[in-house]
Structure formats: C-alpha cells, structure tokens
Amino acid sequence: MSPPVNLSPNAYLKDHISAGRGVFASNIIPAGTEILSVTDPLICIPDDAHLDSCCHYCMAEATDETSSVNQAYRPLVKLSYCLGCRVVKYCSKACQTTDWKQKGHKYECVIYKAQYPRVLPVTARAILRMAKHFLSETPGSNIVGGIGALKAHAEDFAKTGGERWEMANLIAKGAAEFSKVSKQVSFEPEFLRDMYCKVLINSASVVTQTFDPIGLCLAYQSAMFNHSCDPNAVMMFDGRQLSIRSLKEIPKDTEITISYIENLAARKERKEELKSRYFFECSCSLCSSEAEPLESLKCPKCNGAIAANTTTCSSCTEAISDDELSAAVALAASVTAQRAKRNADKSINPTLKSLRSLYSTKLLPPTFPPIPQLHQDLATSYIDEGNWKLALHHLLTLYVKVYPVVYATPYHPVRVVRTFTLAMVLIQVAVDEPEGFGEKIDFTKVLYGLLTEVCGNVEKSHGGNSSFAEVVRRKMEEVKIDVGIDSNREADKWMGKGLKAIPDLEGEVAKIIKIVDEFLATLTSD
Ligand SMILES: C[S@@+](CC[C@H](N)C(=O)[O-])C[C@H]1O[C@@H](n2cnc3c(N)ncnc32)[C@H](O)[C@@H]1O
C-alpha cells in the first residue's frame, strides 16, 4: 500500500530493491534545497521530559531566563496549563483551540484527567492520537491511507520478543484500558499494538534549533524516506514544522536518504542500533566501505593517520602493535556503552574522566567515536552551568578538529548551529574576560568571522525564511552595531566561507589552533 500523498515536486515514491519503498529525486536537486515541507504533521507532541516546558501544539519552549546562550535562539514564551487535564500546556489560546479541535486534545483531555497525577508516556499518548485520527476520518482519506501504509514490522517485533515486545503489549493494553474513559471511542489492544509498532518505526524526534530532542513527530510523508549513514538529506524542525533539506546535489532518480541515528556513532554501534530498532542491515556506502574516516587512529609519534584495520602510520611509517590498537578501540567501545547507559545524564565528572581515558591512549584522535559526543556533552553541561570558558574550549575543539571531518559540508545544519553556539559562548567569555585569554585572541574579529560563516551558510542549511535564519540575521546586526562594523565591510565578501578563508583572520585562526592543541595536551597528560 502506498500513502496517497504527493511528496513534493522534487521527489517521487518508488518500490525499493531492498527497503520496501523509498523516495527518489524527480530532477537534479541542488544542495541546500527544501525537498519536503510538512507544516502540519499528523502527530507532533512533547516527550515526557518536555510536557511542562513546551507548547502542546506549536512546540514553542518556555523561555529559560537563566541561560543567555539559549535566550539568543528563542522569543519570550509563557505557557499555561489546559484547565481540563492540567497535563498539557499552551503558549496561546489559538494553539489550545487548534489542538483541541483539530489535533485530538478534545478526545485525550478526559483520559489524561482520569490518570492525573500519573502522566501517560509519550508513545501511549501518540498511539491514542493516531488511532483516534485513523478511526474518525472517512475511509479513503489521506490520513487513513497514510497511516495504513506505514510499515509496522509487527512480526519482527513479535519474533524478537524481549523488552520491546513486552512494552508494546503493556502500553497497548494500558492505552486500550484508558481509552474506555472516553465516551467518543475506545480501542482494542491489538489495534493499538499495531499503532505502537508504527510509531516506533516511523516517528522522529522533534528537535529544537540547537538539535536537542523535545518531542515525537510522525508524518506519513517523511516516514517514506529510507536511512543512510552517509545521507544526502537531513530532517529538520522549525517548531512543529518538519522539513527535509538536501545536503549535497542529488542527481535525478537517485534515492534521497536521511540518517535515523546519531551521525557521530561508530559503524558497529550504528549497525546494531539500526538492526535492533528498525530491523534492517545497513549496507550504505559508509557501512560497506573498507575504512571510514572516523575509524582512523592517530600516530602517537607524528599525529598522522593510521587507517582502520592497519597498523602503520601513513605519514611517518611508525608501526604500532596490534594489541595496543585493539585495546584503544575496545576502550572506545566500552566508553560508548557506558555513555549509552548514562542516557541523558551529562554529569561533568564521569564524562571528563571518560574523555581523559580515551585521550590517554595517545592513539585516538578527536574524531574517533565517542570522543566528539563527549566533547559535545561537556560543552552542553558547561553552558548549562555558565562555565563559558570551559564550554568554549570544547566547542573550539569540535569546530577545529571534528566538524570539518564529520560534517564535511559547511552548510550541514548541525555544523551551522554549533558554530552559532560557539559564537554566542565567545560573547559570554569576552564579557567575563575582556582582556582575552590564552593567546589573547581578538574576540571581535573572531566573533565577526564566525557569524559571517553562519550567515553565509544559513540560507542553504535552514532556509532563508526559517526562524533560525531570522535569529542569526538579528544577532549579526546587533554585533555589527556593538563592535562598530560597517555593513559594507570588505569581510562581507567572505560570507559562508569559514574563518580560515578570511585573509585578515589568519593570525587569529593560528592562535585558535594553538589554544585547541594545548587544551588537548592537558586532557592527554593528566
Ligand atoms: C520509516 S520506514 C522508511 C520507509 C519504508 N521503506 C517503507 O517502505 O515504508 C523505515 C523502514 O524502512 C526500511 N529501511 C529504511 N532504510 C533502510 C535501508 N537503508 N536498508 C534497508 N531497509 C531500510 C526498514 O524496514 C525500516 O524499518
């Protein structure tokens, strides 16, 4: 069954040789093009941790007044509870009315109220919503066709058994029981279990402009895109609006792919996650390649690269023992497993300890998973506690050493957003330490260079009309005024090209590289 939707003028749906159906380019799609835009996904709701801090319709986050970095991204938002259930919150009457009348809160409210103070988990809330839509629509409607066409992998879930299958049965049974409270419609557990499987296979995390997960989204249009670990497109959110944008030029009739999982993970972890969560063996170009760049190790003598599955430095020909290399790789795998166990916990001490243990092998470079994730976790934690200088060191490390390899295209949305965060943190450090630090970088020049890079890439990464592009433009104007930069300045020519491409910033870039190298040396030596 195919969903009865026209995906976009740029894309068409076709049976795939090994992945069910897939989405293909109808014509040459230039890099940085919006391929799909879904303004009203079927389901788009806050996850359990964000029910209190996000609007249940538009996903606007309540403004956190304690963090001036986050402040830069968000307009002021105040949320009020739905007085019926006191579980969900809204930022405006308009959002509340639309959620009530069109998205299903009229149906859910009484169920949530009956459970209060217990709150249903996000998957239970999602399946009730999806089931309600499925049964209330006229048979043959787009919604009924769209939901009906989604892959459920129900047999694979049942065959695999284990915790996930138990959870599917438990949530479906619970939700069926809760649905009896409603006088409108109640559901059988088997039907809800099928909806649950569809949600797990086809939903995506709603993310903020800084790519932090805040909710669950299911749109049958975007659910048709298959996965690649080296995708040519990326899924993004602007509030509840979902879009898929090209990361490179996509030739006509080529499959358009997105990544279902964290880009920074190692091949083994990626393959295991895709198999256990989505029931397929990934055979993308990256997974089938002999050695991917992230798997290279570092020569302890000259810092040259030791390609995966080899034991000799490609620059100085130093030979490293197999045992030493295997021990370093095994340590990285064990830190990855520990990090997954800690889940969202980004406590500084254990994370820092893990990072030091990896660097102390002297064989693992900053790109080797999970080192980039640990730097990112630490940067986030330091930002949360207002320790700008340490956050800056981790962000500079990612900017200099990791992003050019991991997000090779300069307009990859994650790279653009992280560069903007780096600029915002730099402002905070400049306020705390106006005299500069380390090699005394010229804050004004570097800040202007970073913002020039972000402004020049945001059109392709996010689209010129996105809220993020608007925030970036506002910030750039503010900075130009604050530092007295005339908008016709020579450097405007270098929009989007990156710090290294701006001629009068060569000296500053050299200082930044030195700061990062010294910082990494401190992590290695202790
Ligand atoms: C969100 S759906 C994508 C659309 C799906 N192909 C369909 O026909 O409905 C996810 C499912 O598609 C299949 N899939 C996605 N990417 C794949 C890939 N790279 N290789 C094989 N199967 C894939 C898996 O069955 C996966 O559980």
Question: Which of 225, 226, 229 for a ligand 1 pocket mutation test, highest count of atoms within 8 Å of Cβ?
Answer: 226
Residue 468 has a pLDDT of 93
Using a 10 angstrom Cβ sphere, with 0-12 exposed, 13-18 middle and 19 or more buried, the burial of residue 281 is: exposed
pLDDT tens by residue, 196-205: 999 999 999 9
Backbone angles phi, psi at 386, to 5 degrees: 75, 20
Beta strands (DSSP E) in 229-347 are 233-238, 241-246, 257-258, 297-298, 305-306
Residue 197 has a pLDDT of 96
Does position 272 have pLDDT exceeding 90, yes or no?
yes
Closest CA to 150 of 216, 196, 215: 196
DSSP 8-state secondary structure symbol assigned to residue 296:
-
CA 510 to centroid of ligand 1, rounded, Å = 45
Backbone angles phi, psi at 54, to 5 degrees: -130, 145
CA 17 to centroid of ligand 1, rounded, Å = 11
Residue 66 has a pLDDT of 55
CA 201 to centroid of ligand 1, rounded, Å = 8
Q: How far, in Å, CA of 114 to CA of 92, rounded? A: 24
The residue count of the chain comes to: 526
Residues 397 and 382: beta-carbon distance below 8 Å? no
Q: How large is the average pLDDT for residues 239-249?
A: 96
β-partners of residue 297 are 306
Residue 67 has a pLDDT of 53
Q: How far, in Å, CA of 3 to CA of 149, rounded? A: 5
Residue 206 has a pLDDT of 97
Q: How far, in Å, CA of 3 to CA of 219, rounded? A: 11
Q: How large is the average pLDDT for residues 284-310?
A: 86
DSSP codes, 201-230: HH-EEEE-TT--EEEEEE-TTGGGPEE-SS
pTM of the shown model: 0.91
Does position 322 have pLDDT exceeding 60, yes or no?
yes
| Spacing of C-alpha 52 from chain mean position | 21
What tokens appear for 348 in the block? Answer: 């500084």
Closest C-alpha residue for ligand 1 atom 27: 278
Least confident of 161-170, 313-322, 420-429: 313-322
CA 204 to centroid of ligand 1, rounded, Å = 13
Q: What is the mean pLDDT of the chain?
A: 89
What tokens appear for 6 in the block? Answer: 């026209």
Closest C-alpha residue for ligand 1 atom 20: 19
Percent of the chain with pLDDT over 70: 91
Closest C-alpha residue for ligand 1 atom 15: 226
Q: Which atom of ligand 1 is the closest one to the Cα of 202?
A: 1
Residues 282 and 227: beta-carbon distance below 8 Å? yes
CA 263 to centroid of ligand 1, rounded, Å = 17
Closest C-alpha residue for ligand 1 atom 21: 19
Pairing status of strand 305-306 against strand 241-246:
unpaired
DSSP 8-state secondary structure symbol assigned to residue 368:
S
Residues 298 and 359: beta-carbon distance below 8 Å? no
pLDDT tens by residue, 369-412: 999 999 999 999 999 999 999 999 999 999 999 999 889 899 99
Pairing status of strand 226-227 against strand 257-258:
parallel
Residue 182 has a pLDDT of 80
Q: How far, in Å, CA of 150 to CA of 203, rounded? A: 10
What tokens appear for 344 in the block? Answer: 């969202």
CA 277 to centroid of ligand 1, rounded, Å = 11
pLDDT tens by residue, 451-491: 989 999 999 999 999 999 999 999 888 887 776 665 555 55
Q: How large is the average pLDDT for residues 418-445?
A: 84
CA 254 to centroid of ligand 1, rounded, Å = 16
CA 224 to centroid of ligand 1, rounded, Å = 8
CA 366 to centroid of ligand 1, rounded, Å = 32
Q: Is there a cis peptide before residue 350, judged by omega within 30 degrees of 0?
A: no
Helices and strands in the chain, H and E counts: 19, 14
Closest C-alpha residue for ligand 1 atom 23: 19
Reported as a pLDDT band with limits 50, 70 and 90, residue 140 is confident
Q: Given CA atoms 6, 7, 10, 12 in this order, what sign does their dihedral have? A: negative
CA 124 to centroid of ligand 1, rounded, Å = 23
Least confident of 96-110, 201-215, 472-486: 472-486
CA 228 to centroid of ligand 1, rounded, Å = 10
CATH 1.25.40 domain locations along the chain: 344-354+368-525
Cα angle vertex 372, ends 370, 373, to 5°?
65
Residue 263 has a pLDDT of 75
Q: Which atom of ligand 1 is the closest one to the Cα of 21?
A: 8
Q: How large is the average pLDDT for residues 340-346?
A: 75
Pairing status of strand 89-90 against strand 80-81:
antiparallel
Q: Which atom of ligand 1 is the closest one to the Cα of 279?
A: 27
The fold of 344-354+368-525 is 1.25.40
Does position 449 have pLDDT exceeding 90, yes or no?
no
Least confident of 61-75, 218-232, 427-441, 485-499: 485-499
Write out residues with Cβ below 6 Å of ligand 1. Answer: 16, 18-22, 151, 153, 201-202, 223-224, 226-228, 278-280, 282, 284
Closest C-alpha residue for ligand 1 atom 26: 278
Residue 37 has a pLDDT of 95
Q: How large is the average pLDDT for residues 211-224?
A: 95
Does position 309 have pLDDT exceeding 90, yes or no?
no
Residue 372 has a pLDDT of 95
CA 194 to centroid of ligand 1, rounded, Å = 17
Q: Which atom of ligand 1 is the closest one to the Cα of 22?
A: 6
Does position 70 have pLDDT exceeding 60, yes or no?
no
Give the chain's end-to-end CA distance (angstroms, integer).
Answer: 59
Q: How far, in Å, CA of 77 to CA of 88, rounded? A: 15
Q: How large is the average pLDDT for residues 503-507?
A: 76
Q: How far, in Å, CA of 234 to CA of 278, rounded? A: 18
Cα angle vertex 349, ends 343, 210, to 5°?
50
Reported as a pLDDT band with limits 50, 70 and 90, residue 448 is confident
Question: Which of 164, 200, 227 for a ligand 1 pocket mutation test, highest count of atoms within 8 Å of Cβ?
Answer: 227
**Distances from the Cα of 314 to the Cαs of 262, 286, 296, 301, 310, in angstroms?**
29, 21, 11, 12, 10
Stretch (H or E) spanning 227: strand 226-227
Residue 220 has a pLDDT of 92
Residues 6+ away with beta carbon under 8 Å from 399: 418, 419, 422
Cα angle vertex 386, ends 381, 390, to 5°?
65
Question: Which of 151, 260, 284 for a ligand 1 pocket mutation test, highest count of atoms within 8 Å of Cβ?
Answer: 151
Cβ neighbours of 319 (radius 10 Å): 11
Question: Which of 280, 282, 283 for a ligand 1 pocket mutation test, highest count of atoms within 8 Å of Cβ?
Answer: 280
Q: How far, in Å, CA of 451 to CA of 457, rounded? A: 10
Residue 498 has a pLDDT of 67
Does position 511 have pLDDT exceeding 60, yes or no?
yes
Q: Which atom of ligand 1 is the closest one to the Cα of 19?
A: 22
Percent of the chain with pLDDT over 90: 64
CA 19 to centroid of ligand 1, rounded, Å = 5
Q: How far, in Å, CA of 197 to CA of 203, rounded? A: 10
Closest C-alpha residue for ligand 1 atom 9: 151
